[in-house]
Structure 1
Amino acid sequence: MPAQSIRQVIRRLEQHQIDTLYVLFGEEAYLHQEYLAILSQRLLEGAPRDFNFDVLQADSDGLAEALSLARTLPMMAACRVVVLQGIHQLRKADVRQLEQYAEAPSESTALICTSTDPEIKKVPRILQQNAVTIACKRLSGDQLHDWVVRTATRQQVRMSEAAVEAFLQDQDNDLFLLSRELDKLCTYAGPEGDIEPADVHAVCYASRQQSIFALSDALGSRQIPRAFHVLEQLLQQGEAPLLVFSMIVRHLRLLWSVKTLTQQRQDAGRIAKTLGLPAHVCRQMISHSRQMSSAQIQRLYQTAVEADLAFKTSNKPPQAVLERLVLALCSDA
């Protein structure tokens, strides 16, 4: 069955056309989360959620429990919803159990399977044929533009075309971060408000300029004073230390990925597309990766692992742990 958009699926549900099998596939975690919330809300329609909604991981035990629940009649509801996350991790022996269920699914259950594999062809063939498939791929270009407009509209806020362009300028396509910035903008505008470029600059400019890209650039170029300056500004803006830490870890993972892809002689355009990075950010990451060996990047990541342990086990203030990490990352030679 060809992949459908979430809008097409919603239209079917509005017409009370409930399917027994759904598959969400793709690498964009935010869309997985968003689409699961939409589907579960529409499918249950006010039914007792505690009795009719279950989420399980696709390991051997989770699969068996998920299929058992899927065969159980709903309670005081027309439909039961069972979510089976991570079917790309199933062993071949377990895949057969899922295929057998998909051949004759329960008519009173909507089984939603998720896979972070970007290709639908990696999903079991019987699911490709019988399930409603929805792509959750990284957004860019017009798709990212439309997502911003839809997200603002859901919050009863109108964004001009110029405001959308200003908002997306120099932004990464990380939907979790973009969603946070949009929430700030929509709160600033208020219900039924209008957002123009001036509003974007008033609310988002500082956070963009002092975003993880500025911190990443400072870390990548080993500029200790600048790195501490950007870190201080991020914390003063109210960013949680653990969120900043997760941004740093993401930077290190991207640095490793860029290093690996450049060693495979992939060009900047292909790397940017593979990793979902804006072109100028990708060029920046390539430049930084060339200044480090693979062993150095591995050491930096190990330093971040040690900082993660310090967050969880030491009595040091989170800001102190972050500052120590930034110093270590900038000082490694």
Structure 2
Amino acid sequence: MPTSLRSFAATDRFVTEIASPSTIRPGYVLAGDEVFLYDRCRKAVLTALVPEGARDFALHDLDLAETSIFEVLDRAQTPSLMAPFQVLFVRGLKGLYGRGSKKEEFAAIDAYFRSPNPQALILFVADHLRIPADLRKMDYQDKERYERIRETLGEWCGMVELARVEEGDAMRWVAATAESRGVRFEQDAARELVDALGADMMMIASEFEKLLLYVEGKGRVTLGDVETMVLAAKQRSLYELTDAISAKDRPRALALLHGLLNASDGGEDAAIGHLYMLARTFRQMLIIAEKNVRDSRAIWQVLWQGFRMPPFAAEDLIKQARRYKSRRELTRAIRLVARADLELRSSPANKLLVLERLVLDLCTEPKPSRYEPSLQFAMEL
């Protein structure tokens, strides 16, 4: 893990602190939903404090939705006959700050930390908070919840912010980690990987490992490798295509279509898959337009799980949806894609011609019509 990156500073301090008996505190709050940084903290705790063979007795994963805080504190206070040190990861912290004053619960917490068991460590996991890389952009509700935790548990526990990683730091992590393993990760490739995955470090780390396996023996990761192996990078080209279509830019749209087909493993044979993604994207735009979504945070409220775009595309898709003047224009686009899908499934002589005609039709302003054709094909697609 490369050091001296601002986004990793909080976890760096935590890892250093728990490695020494003189600096470790009796409790910590791991605040934030950045899973990559949480995993790093957890692995460091296990390495420093819980030997491999003792984890059945020394490690406790608890949830306040199932276990009361009184039982958690009782476990921490009671020495174990089977292990010299105990570590308790406590999730469900949101419930401790729900309805009611919780005076008894906080009184018990205060009583424990006034005289904590030196052979136990409690780690409260506040993963219901989302902490952005720029703290000034933190959601008001999350900020309020974080302040409440800091004013109560923060009196006794160390606060570790698991904030989103800045894009620049994510790129430097990719380059430095690759270098430490004898691989050169080109700057353009690192930028594309981070941008395509919305600086989601857990996904970046996963795709990073796949890329290193893919280039094994070559010693270098290029932009082409990322575009070949990372699905989100392929999707980026599709959103560039819909951007050109929504802007009615025919030359750019046709050029992007050809680029998309050339980059596809199946070439023209991948056309039906591209049409599916086009239909999906226009349906997303239709919902965004109908719900009058103005910023990316609201997208997650109107688009359900499994029907959302990658994080990097959210703002672009809002901008594209706003270019359409009415619901009719978007439903027309869905119908055009459905018609092209039907043509492709009928084994036409030239698939590329079908796709080019579709793109030209999508880039053309619709003519006024007194009739609204059926959406049957669009719904099936």
Gaps of 5+ in 1: 234-249, 265-275, 294-326
Residue aligning to 2:114:
103
**Residue 208 (structure 1) aligned with residue 252 (structure 2):** no
For residues 11-38 of structure 1, what are the alpha-carbon distances to aligned partners after superposition, in whole Å with 9 as ceiling and x for unaligned?
2334444321111112324433442233
Q: State the partner residue of 2:151.
A: 125
Deviation at 1:73, TM superposition (A): 1.8
Query: Counterpart of 2:293?
Result: 259
Q: Secondary structure at the match of 1:88?
A: helix
- Please point out which of 16, 19, 30 is paired with 1:11: 16
Indicate yes or no: 2:206 matched with 1:183.
no
Counterpart for residue 318 of structure 2: 285
Task: Provide the TM-score with structure 2 as the length reference.
Answer: 0.54
Q: Confirm or deny: 8 A CA contact 1:258 1:286 kept in the other structure.
A: no
Letter in 2 for 1:49: R
Report how far residue 49 of structure 1 moved. 0.2
**Which amino acid in the other structure matches residue 52 of structure 1?**
A
The aligned counterpart of 2:193 is 167
Aligned to 2:273: 229
> Counterpart amino acid of 1:37?
K
Kindly tell me: are residues 277 and 210 of structure 1, through their superposed partners in 2, closer, same or farther at Cα, counting changes over 3 Å? closer
Aligned partner of residue 82 in structure 1, secondary structure: strand
C-alpha displacement of 1:135:
1.0
Identity %: 18
Unpaired runs of 5+ residues, structure 2, are 1-7, 132-142, 247-269, 278-283, 299-309, 328-374
What is the one-letter code of the residue matched to 1:9? F
Q: Is the 8 A contact 1:25 1:136 kept in 2?
A: yes
8 Å contact from structure 2 (residues 61, 90) kept in 1? yes
Return closer, same or farther for 1:39/1:192 CA change in 2, 3 Å cut-off. Answer: farther
Partner of 1:139: 165
Letter in 2 for 1:51: F
Give the C-alpha shift of residue 192 in structure 1: 11
Distance (Å, rounded) in 2 between the aligned partners of 1:104 and 1:251: 57
- Mean CA deviation greater in 284-293 or 30-39: 284-293
1:33-90 CA distance string (max 9 Å, x none) = 4422332333214350000111111237342332222112245544210011131321
Equivalent of 1:57 in 56, 63, 84: 63
Greater Cα offset, 59-68 or 176-185? 59-68
Task: Name the TM-score, length of structure 1 as normaliser.
Answer: 0.60
2:296–2:314: 8 Å Cα contact kept in structure 1? no
Q: 1:83 to 1:188 in 2, by over 3 A?
A: same
Conserved 8 A contact 1:4-1:132? no
Judging changes above 3 Å, is the alpha-carbon distance between structure 1 residues 202 and 20 closer, same or farther for their aligned structure 2 residues? same
Deviation of 1:328 after TM superposition, in Å, equals 9.7
Describe the superposition over 1:74-122 as per-residue Cα deviations: whole angstroms up to 9, x where unpaired.
4554421001113132143134433433333221111000113244423
What is the alpha-carbon distance in structure 2 between the residues aligned to residue 21 and residue 257 of structure 1? Answer: 44
Q: Which amino acid in the other structure matches residue 110 of structure 1?
A: L
C-alpha distance 254-172 of structure 1, shift in aligned 2 (>3 A): farther
Distance in 1 between the 2:83 and 2:199 partners?
Answer: 38
Q: Which of 77, 80, 89 is 1:83 aligned to?
A: 89
Query: Contact 2:193–2:204 at 8 Å: present in 1 too?
Result: no
Structure with higher Rg: it is 2
Matched, 1:24 2:53: no
> Following TM superposition, where does structure 1 have runs of at least 4 consecutive aligned residues deviating by more than 6 angstroms?
153-156, 250-258, 289-293
| CA distance, structure 2, for counterparts of residue 287 and residue 5 of structure 1 | 38
SS in 2 for 1:5: helix
The AA in structure 2 aligned to 1:57 is D
Per-residue CA deviation, residues 267-293 of structure 1 (Å, 9 max, x unaligned), is xxxxxxxxx944x53131354489799
Separation in 1, partners of 2:182, 2:75: 38
